[in-house]
Homo-oligomer: A and B are copies of this chain.
């Protein structure tokens, strides 16, 4: 459904939100280990998440690492998808027509429409903070 980069991005953000803080930053090797992702590749992805939107923060030097500001916990998976450039996927036609719409529907449009609505709801309703809370309540995994 998503690229490897986006999968790693989502898992990394959840892990950073769960285990990190400004006082206890997480270093790259720890993050990559926790989500079972290639470290150098993960570094590139984390840069993308810090650069423009500053969804996560990074600090260089000893005791440096990554953390997420509390106010960013209201952001949702959808925001991560947007940053990673896969946000449009949630608007697209399942058969690849240029536009998914009522006026030019593909043969699967009727069935797919309600599913697409649920996909959108899922990614827009699940905030990072909520996911962390759910992870603490139940038994969930990132690898």
Please give the residue numbers on chain A whose beta carbons come within 8 Å of chain B beta carbons, in ascending order: 1-2, 4, 7-8, 10-11, 14, 77, 89, 92, 94-97, 104-109, 111-112, 114-115, 118-119, 122, 126, 131, 134-135, 139-143
Tell whether A111 pairs with B97 under 8 Å between CB atoms, given A89-B1, A105-B141, A106-B140. Answer: no
Contacts of A126 in B (CB 8 A): 107-108, 111
Instruction: State the Cβ distance, A56 to closest chain B Cβ, in Å.
Output: 17
Q: Assess the B106–A122 pair: CB atoms within 8 A.
A: no
Contacts of A107 in B (CB 8 A): 14, 126, 131, 134-135, 140, 142
Contacts of A134 in B (CB 8 A): 107
Question: How far does the alpha carbon of A131 sit from the alpha carbon of B112 in the complex, in Å?
Answer: 13
Residue of B nearest to A134 (CB): B107
Tell whether A141 pairs with B96 under 8 Å between CB atoms, given A115-B115, A122-B112, A122-B115. Answer: no
Contacts of A122 in B (CB 8 A): 108, 111-112, 115
Instruction: State the Cβ distance, A96 to closest chain B Cβ, in Å.
Output: 3
Instruction: State the Cβ distance, A4 to closest chain B Cβ, in Å.
Output: 7
Contacts of A114 in B (CB 8 A): 118
